[in-house]
Amino acid sequence: MLTSNVSWLVIFLTSVAPVRSGSLLGLATITNIISGITDILTTNSGEHNNTLPEDATLNITELADKYGYNIEEHTVETDDEYILSLHRIPAQCNETNKVVFLMHGLLDSSDSWLLQGPGYALAYILADEGFDVWMGNARGNKYSKAHKSLDTNQTKYWQFSWDEIGMYDIPAMIDYITNVTSKNIYYVGHSQGTTSFLVMNSYKPEYNKKVKMMFSLAPIAWLIHTKSLIVKLFTGDIIFQYFLSMLNEPSNFEDILSNLCKILLSSCDDKIYFFVTNNKLTNDSMLDIVKGHFPTSSSTLQLIHYSQLVQSKRFCRFDFGVEENLKRYGSSKPPDYDVGKTTVPTVLFYSNSDRLSDIADVMLLFNRLPNVYDTYLAYKWDHIDYLYASVAKDTIYAKIVQYIKE
């Protein structure tokens, strides 16, 4: 199966290649992509259990109910009229309570903070400590698909990347939380949840004042050294151009991923394998639960924006092409984000084996952040282990609780 899938890919690549002149891939890039695909297929080899565990099928309110946690849903409207869902596990009547805001990564949702279950998942651990726990949902994900005038079947709805998530969504959610609780927050971001935080402060540095501390799990800003296949796939011009030509406009990335997985994987229930490697910190029974929740919807532009960073080797705004850039930014190239404006004390949790958030890229961020309070190296962790590895509770979650209590 492995061989036949790979040769399928070669045919696919070579047949697509002539479609776009001027975007012929170098042999090295093709080899790179094929070796990445081989990784996916190897990870995805064994037989899969098609009976999903119950927790794979429950939404966030059902999960919290099942495990006896009180959960609230709040809606927040952004300045550009997207309507977002916030989920909250409120503190049990304690006036001195601290407020923690958790922000998920790319293609993810508030679910990710609960999936490991009581005693293991960060949201429950923080709630058990007596903290007031809020979980955000970025525009376009399964809980935040509403808009005052646009519908998700319209291209205009999907016209955003994590730039807009940082400019509008995060500030709107922080305003709402600080308003309801009259307290400043502790921010925990995973992956894109860290990128969008840096973007927010670059535009609106006044938000530093509303945040007591930032916990950055698998930080993403510069992507010069990333080894992530899914991001690299979109920098290999041909596949990128091919899918773009199929779409020709921004849309839900889930649709593209479904097309990709039909070509490359045996079953589209297994899209998760685009994002994990052979690591065993997140065990198989946990992965079966995660499969029911990840990936969720997001805009194609979020992924394309990340891929642009790989190519430009910069941490900058979306590149619309010279003409549109001149109109929007007054310069032919997109402007850089100013990471120096994130002045809140920050703790960076990173790993030496995260393919997406490479240690060398985290160091670039570290060197530019003005107020790094501490760093923590998670040894041999994968990108999703920050959420789903059972060792997270005694390591990084324990650290987070300790810093908040200090």
Ligand X SMILES: *[C@@H]1O[C@H](CO)[C@@H](O)[C@H](O)[C@H]1NC(C)=O
Q: Smallest gap, in angstroms, from Cβ of residue 269 to ligand X?
A: 13
> Is 383 an annotated catalytic residue?
yes
- 79 near ligand X, rule: CB under 6 A: no
- String of contacts with ligand X for each residue 159-178, x by CB under 6 A: ----------------xx--
The whole-angstrom separation of Cα 277 and Cα 226 is: 14
- 7 near ligand X, rule: CB under 6 A: no
With CB under 6 A as the contact rule, which of the stretches 60-68, 162-170, 229-237, 339-347 interacts with ligand X?
A: 60-68
Write the single-letter amino acid at 240.
F
Q: Which of 188, 137, 193, 200 is nearest to 164 (CA)?
A: 200
Residues 303-322 that bind ligand X (CB under 6 A): none
Number of residues that bind ligand X (CB under 6 A): 23
3-state secondary structure of 49: coil
- 335 near ligand X, rule: CB under 6 A: no
- 283 near ligand X, rule: CB under 6 A: yes
State which residue, 9 or 107, has the beta carbon closest to ligand X: 107
**Out of 3, 4, 21, 51, the residue judged to bind ligand X by CB under 6 A:** 51
- 153 near ligand X, rule: CB under 6 A: yes
Q: Which of 297, 323, 60 is nearest to 157 (CA)?
A: 297
**Out of 2, 8, 14, 62, the residue judged to bind ligand X by CB under 6 A:** 62
Q: Are strands 185-190 and 99-103 parallel, antiparallel or unpaired?
A: parallel
- 130 near ligand X, rule: CB under 6 A: yes
The whole-angstrom separation of Cα 348 and Cα 215 is: 6
Neighbour-count burial for 352-386, b at 16+ CB within 10 Å, e otherwise? ebbbbbbeebbebbbebbeebeeebebeebbbbbb
- 149 near ligand X, rule: CB under 6 A: no
From the candidates 109, 110, 191, 307, which is the catalytic residue? 191
State which residue, 15 or 283, has the beta carbon closest to ligand X: 283
With CB under 6 A as the contact rule, which of the stretches 46-54, 234-242, 255-263, 332-340 interacts with ligand X?
A: 46-54
Residue with tokens 């309507």: 83
Helices marked H in 130-250? 162-164, 170-181, 192-203, 229-233, 237-247
Helices marked H in 17-121? 27-43, 54-57, 60-66
Rounded to 5 degrees, what are φ and ψ at 187? -105, 130
Q: Smallest gap, in angstroms, from Cβ of residue 152 to ligand X?
A: 8
> Is 299 an annotated catalytic residue?
no
Which residues would be at the binding site for ligand X (CB under 6 A)?
Answer: 49, 51, 53, 59-62, 73, 94, 96, 116, 120, 130, 143, 151, 153, 175-176, 179, 283, 285-286, 390
